[in-house]
Structure 1
């Protein structure tokens, strides 16, 4: 049954815009959704997204209401669908502009949304929405570097709460880059620990790097990861540089990095550094 929608019911202040799943603009007016049909030199023409419903809305090029939307729709408005689309768009925008886990974004946006029970009932689950959001995030992410000499975007230099994560980026040997990652809380655990574990893994190292070197601290009998290193070679000068940087950071934080025990596997390049 067609719904009544006369000109007196049009509220131009209730006009807004959202994005479709294909990132195309959609116009929302009085809980009806319109897709862009064509654009001329002075106007944009929008048609109802429901197939067979030929109700049009006109806007200026700056997206201000210019007319239309006063005819009868062949269907009822769907405010729940509009609410769902707006929350999904917010989740996608956050995923593209933050490094927050998608599951965390989902929970936070659901918690602070003002969706009705009907809208919540039709809202996709986290697992249903994850693939689409993750795909959009991957497309927006920088391309994988083809060499070890690349610029790290600022978003990857800090944690979700804005604290530093990139501790060191340097080359003690020409063309042999070292990257060290960790946050201040992890560093404090490391500097306060009397026992430190160190080890490297080679099979999971990213392209252009030889190994991922990991330093752990022991806190309340629990081994906690504190520093991640990306290394290109296995030489004493590289491991020595890691210790030099950690000692310098410890000094800056009013602490010292001098554990009583260091436990590591038999790595010939590491042993001379530990003895020095």
Structure 2
């Protein structure tokens, strides 16, 4: 009795499941009540694999007579799936995810030649991430998602969320940024109206000077009283 081939599965660029077997890539061709029929990705090929609905191997038909296995394309498909999985689950910068995954995988020269450059893949990955991005709030009363209240390393980022004179004030800063703020002698304030969503009046940010460089340390929204916010984070309003 022949041994059943090893099957693995991945996701295509069109977000459809693909089957990988012996260096060949198969696409789902049709589904029946008991079986799923997978056809070789190469349309000139007559090879099929049959699985049940639990993706267990049942049988095959046809042969790969007209082309060789495509292990490089398999490597690329698995790489793309890993990148997309992280893009959907994390808020890490897409370029950083892409570079880290390329560095962590041992890819063949053929696969490296097929993998798109980060700049080429960025547009499609951005569209993918936007599918999981929470919609903009329609009022100033909403829950800040966990992904925006902590940093990518798990540090606390939502510093304060209060209501002052019937207006919501949200402050973002890590403990390290606050320590840097409290130890500086120079604080700079920047504000904008155009980059603020309609539900808030404006966005302010605090910057401090350290080692002759300017660092962003605190951001807050809907703050019409700068002195009140400075007192709220422990800064004297007389600080220059």
- Do both proteins adopt the same fold according to a TM-score greater than 0.5, normalized to the shorter chain? yes
Choose the corresponding residue for 2:5, options 7, 12, 30.
Answer: 12
- For the 8 Å contact 2:45–2:63, the answer to whether it is kept is no
Partners of 1:166 and 1:182 within 8 A in 2:
yes
Aligned residue for 1:200? Answer: 191
Q: Which has the bigger relative contact order, CA under 8 A and spacing at least 6?
A: 1
Deviation beyond 4 Å, 4+ runs, structure 1: none
Query: Are 2:239 and 1:262 aligned?
Result: yes
Q: Does the 8 A contact of 1:191 with 1:258 survive in 2?
A: no
Q: CA deviation at 1:117?
A: 1.2
Partner of 2:157: 165
1:250 alignment partner in structure 2: none
CA distance in 2, matches of 1:73, 1:159: 52
- What pairs up with 1:46-125 in 2 under 5 angstroms? 46-68=38-60, 71-125=63-117
> Structure 1: how far apart are the matches of 2:65 and 2:86?
34
Match of 2:46, SS? Answer: coil
1:9-56: CA deviations, max 9, x gaps? x7623x100111110000000011111111222211111111132211
Which ranges of structure 2 fall in alignment gaps of 5 or more residues? none
Deviations along 1:71-130, one digit per CA (max 9) or x if unpaired, are 234211100001011101111111111011111011100001121111112211011111
State the partner residue of 1:147. Answer: 139
Deviation at 1:57, TM superposition (A): 0.4
**Alignment size in residue pairs:** 240
2:220 pairs with 1:243:
no
Structure 2: how far apart are the matches of 1:163 and 1:73?
A: 56
SS in structure 2 opposite 1:57?
strand
Which deviations, in whole Å up to 9, do the C-alpha atoms of 1:135-155 show, x marking residues without a partner?
Answer: 111122111111111222111
Higher helix share: 1
Shift of 1:244: 4.1
Structure 1 CA distance for aligned equivalents of residues 4 and 72 of structure 2: 18
Residue 221 of structure 1 aligns with which residue?
A: 212
Alignment TM-score, normalising by the size of structure 2: 0.93
Deviations along 1:174-205, one digit per CA (max 9) or x if unpaired, are: 3x111111112211100111222223221222
Q: 2:164 aligned with 1:187, yes or no?
A: no
Equivalent pair of 1:198/1:262 in contact (CA under 8 Å):
no
Q: For the Cα contact (< 8 Å) 1:12–1:29, is it kept in 2?
A: yes
Rate the CA distance shift 1:86–1:69 in 2: closer, same or farther, 3 A: farther
CA contact (8 A) 2:193 2:202 kept: yes
Greater radius of gyration (CA): 1
